[in-house]
Structure formats: C-alpha cells, structure tokens
Structure 1
Amino acid sequence: MEILQSAAALQAQTEIWRQNKLRIGLVPTMGALHEGHLQLVRAAAQENDVVVVSVFVNPTQFGNAEDFRLYPRVPEADAELLGPAGCTALFLPAVEQMYPQPTVLRFDFGPLERVMEGEHRPGHFNGVATVVSKLFHLSRPHRAYFGQKDLQQVAVIRQLIADLSFDLELVAYPTIREADGLAMSSRNRRLAPADRAVAPRLYEALALGASLVEEQISTPEAVQQAVEQFLAADPAIQLEYFALADGRTLQPIIGTWTPGSVVALCLAAYVGGVRLIDNVLVTLA
C-alpha cells in the first residue's frame, strides 16, 4: 500500500491508473477506522482494480471547534488496518493540501439540508459537499463508497453527483453494529465506560419505533412520542432530535403512513457529551 500526502501525488497516480484502464474505487473517511469502514474498503477491493482510501478530518464540516479538536486521530493505526483490507493507496493530506486557499463556494441542497443534521448543524453539508467534490476531482473514481449510518450524507452526496454530473457510481452499505446494537462510529472511542454501557439504548429506541411503524397501528405522532419517552427515561441521554422521514426525500412523515413506502427513523443524541447519530429503515407493506 502506498501513502500519498499531496493532492498532486494523488492526481498523478490517478492519471496513471486511468491510462492503464484500471477501475478506481474511493472510500472517503475521517479516520479512526472501524469495521464499518473496513467493510467499505473490502467491497471496493472486490469491485475495482485499485482502491483509494482518504483519511482527512475535514475542518469545514465542523461547526463546533471543540468537536473538531477532539475528533480521534490515529493515522498509524489506520494505515495498519488498510493494507490487509485491500487498500492500494492511502491519501493522508494536511489541511493545506485540501484547502490551499479558503473556499468561498456555497452549496444549497434545498429541503434535503433543512431537516435533521442540516437543521441542527448549519453549514455541515456545505463542508461535506466541498471536501467530497475535491476528493472526486483528485481521485477520479469509478465508484465511491459510503455507509448508511450517515443516511442524510449519502442522500446529499447522491444529489451532488447528479447535479454536478460526476461520472461515478455511489455505493452505500448497511450500518455495521456492535454485538449490543450500537452503530459503529469513530466517535465511540470518546465514550467513557459508563456512557458506552448506555449508548446501545439509542438503537433500542430505534428498534422500538421500527416495530411500531411496521404495525402501522400507531400514528407517526404516537411513534414519535413513544421513542422520545423511551429515551427520556435515561438521564444520561440528551436527545437532540428523533425524526420519522420519507426514506427517499428525508422529509417528515406527518399524519398517515403510505403503503409500500420506506420510512427512515433517524436520531441524534448526546451520551456523556459525545454526539452520536443512528438510523433504521422500514419498508411498509
């Protein structure tokens, strides 16, 4: 596995691969890798000739400076995991490589970024779209791989690809969970032991909501109330939002269920001061 640290080096390598008719898979990450990331890398290795994995904690998608400072960074450990998983090139740039000058471009994803993460983290998806666009231009992938845990991010990137005519396929893989149901996340490293023991209740709340949605007896409003009450029973959890949304548009579901539709149950909560997100999808009969 080769480690590339400059944008120019990645562009040069990409050009060689393209000239040799090799298919390129890209797995963008912010590092502190876990099994969810490695699933994406292994899938990319199976479906492409070469695989680029980027490890870059992107400052423009953080609205909270302390959250950016505390985000786990373990590049040496990440590199040890990536080679056996099938990574061809690890792109490990400094901030100056990705942002040689301050970016002034602004993306607007319309209703998609006015809800959930977009509502609670203003500017977040502008930062995501900026860095992902840069990675697409630098690595020129045929396929790019993302995890469903970041459901709204996947939807935003899908729109980005369509609107800017990027010639690549977006591949989304299901969320990988710990044995107790907690969605794997780099932020889990920041949980104290007592908070780690509480964190699986987020998935338990989603599972409760999903069972009620599947029955289609309770109204969306009743499901909302049931999930919020479940989480309110644990003082260690501070719910930021729970949303029932259309699985395609991610717009709120109000009043009634639509047979045959996909319902996304999404939440964000603080556990011990660490912000965690999760979601599950339910297809209605």
Structure 2
Amino acid sequence: MKRTSHIQELRKMIAEEKKRGRKINFVPTMGFLHRGHLSLIAQAQQKDAFLIVSIFVNPLQFGPNEDLSRYPRDLERDVRLLEEAGVDALFHPTVEEMYPNPMVTFVEVGQLDAMLCGATRPGHFRGVTTVVNKLFNIVQPDKAFFGQKDYQQYLIIERMVRDLNLPIQICPVPIVREEDGLAMSSRNIFLTSEQRQKAQILSKSLAAAELSIQTGQRSAREIERQLRERITFESQGIIDYAEVRDAGDLSEVTEIKRPVLLALAVKFGTTRLIDNKVVEVKPNV
C-alpha cells in the first residue's frame, strides 16, 4: 500500500494511475477504523479501480464544545487494517497540509444542513462539505463511497456534487451493525458497558417504529412520539432529536405516504450517537 501525507505527492501518484487507464475510487474517513469503514472499502474495491482511503480528523466540523481532542486516533492500527484490506493508497494529511492558511472560503449546502444534526451542531456540515470538497479537488475520484449511518451527510454530499457539477458518482453503503444492533461508530469506544447496553434501544426503537408504519400507522407525529417514549422509558438516554423526514430530501412529513427516514440522535453519558432507518411504505390494506 502506498502512503503519503502530502497533496502534491498524492496528485503525482493519481496522475500515474490515470495514465495507466485506471479509475479512481475514494473512501474519505476520520480514522479509528471499524467494520463499517471496511464495508465501504469492500464496496470500493472494483476491477480496474485504484482505491484511495483518506484519514483526516477535520477540525472545521467540530464545534467549540465538541470532542475534537477526544476523537479516537490510532494511525498505525488503521494502516494495518488498510493493508490487510488490500487498499492501494492511504492519504493522511496533517492539519497544516490541509489548511496552510486560515480558511476564508467555505462550501455550504443550504436547507439540508439546517435540520437534524445541523440544528444542534451549527457549522458542522459547513465543515464537512468544505473538507470533502477539498478532498474531491485533491483526489478527483470517479466514485466516492459514504456510509448511510450518516444519512444526512450522504444526502448533503450528493446534493453538493450535483449542484456544483462535480464529475463524481456518490455511492451509498448500508449501515453496519454490531451483533446487538448498535450501529458501528468510532465513538462507541467511549460508552461504558452499561451505556452500551442501554444504547441498544436505538436500533430496537427504530425496528418497532418501522413495524408500526408497516402495520398501518401513517402519522409522523405518532411515530415520533413512539420513538421518544420508548427511548426515554427504556434507556434514560437524552434525546437530541427523534424525527420522521422524507427519505429523499429530508423535508418535513405529516402523513407518511412515501419512503421516510426515521432519524435519531441520543446522548448516553457524554457520548452522542446517531442512528436511522429508511422505511418503505406499503399500501394500507
């Protein structure tokens, strides 16, 4: 596996691969890799494609009271996992390489960034879209792969690419879960054993809400009430949001008539977890 922390060295590497006629596939990450990341890598390993993974903990997407300094890091462990997975190249720039000067240029995706995680983490998605746009300009991939655990982020990146006419195919990859149903996340390491057990309520409440919809419940407010009630009474988790949104554009939903996103953000201790489920709507009998 080739490895560099320098933009110009990566660009030279990519130019050589393109001369050989290879497509460029790209998986951007913040490191501390788990099976969720490895599923992205597996999807991105395609015939005649040169696969680049980036590891960069992006300070622009962390608020002043958020966990930038606590975000788990273990580069050498990640390198071993990437080598075992057969990745072609790793790009792991420093903050100084990515942001040599104070940033005054930003990329924002309006509307989609103002709800759910964007409502309680102002500036978060501006940081995400800015760094992803920078990475796209550096790597110039043909395809980029994003996990659907961060469903709002996936839609925002997809919209940014569409609006800015970037010649990149955004490929969504389904959520990977632990055996107990907990969605894979680098932040899971911060959970105590008790909090970890309580956090199972996220996937359980999503499954119960899906069943409620599939058996005829069409009120989005009632589904949200069910989600909140179950999480509150069975876990004491602190709910940031528990909402039903249109799965295509995250617009508000009153009556469920088409596919919806059930979206959760809940804090267990000091650890904020997100989870979601896209529910297809069956006709009422």
SS at match of 2:11: helix
Shift of 1:154: 0.4
Structure 1 residue 277 corresponds to structure 2 residue 274: yes
CA–CA distance in structure 2, aligned partners of residues 79 and 185 of structure 1 = 18
CA distances 1:18-60 after superposition (whole Å, capped 9, x unpaired): 2221111100000010111001112211355211000110000
The count of corresponding residues between Structure 1 and Structure 2 is 282
Shift of 1:159: 0.8
Partner of 1:190: 190
Partner of 1:267: 264
Shift of 1:218: 4.9
Structure 1 residue 224 corresponds to structure 2 residue 230: no
SS at match of 1:157: helix
SS at match of 1:239: strand
SS at match of 2:245: strand
SS at match of 2:112: helix
Q: Name the structure with the higher helix share.
A: 1
Task: Give the alignment's TM-score, normalised by structure 1.
Answer: 0.95
Contact 1:42 1:86 in 2 (8 A): no
SS at match of 1:134: helix
CA–CA distance in structure 2, aligned partners of residues 131 and 108 of structure 1 = 11
Task: Give the alignment's TM-score, normalised by structure 2.
Answer: 0.95
SS at match of 1:241: strand
Partner of 1:129: 129
Q: Identity percentage over the alignment?
A: 38
Partner of 1:83: 83
Partner of 1:151: 151
Aligned 1:1-285 pairs, distance under 5 A: 1-234=1-234, 236-254=236-254, 256-258=255-257, 261-285=258-282
Contact 1:149 1:183 in 2 (8 A): yes
Shift of 1:251: 1.3
Quick one: which amino acid aligns to residue 162 of structure 1?
R
Contact 1:25 1:48 in 2 (8 A): no
Quick one: which amino acid aligns to residue 279 of structure 2?
V
CA–CA distance in structure 2, aligned partners of residues 76 and 64 of structure 1 = 28
Gaps (5+ residues) in structure 2?
none
Contact 2:25 2:51 in 1 (8 A): yes
Contact 1:129 1:157 in 2 (8 A): yes
CA–CA distance in structure 2, aligned partners of residues 101 and 215 of structure 1 = 55
CA–CA distance in structure 1, aligned partners of residues 133 and 48 of structure 2 = 20
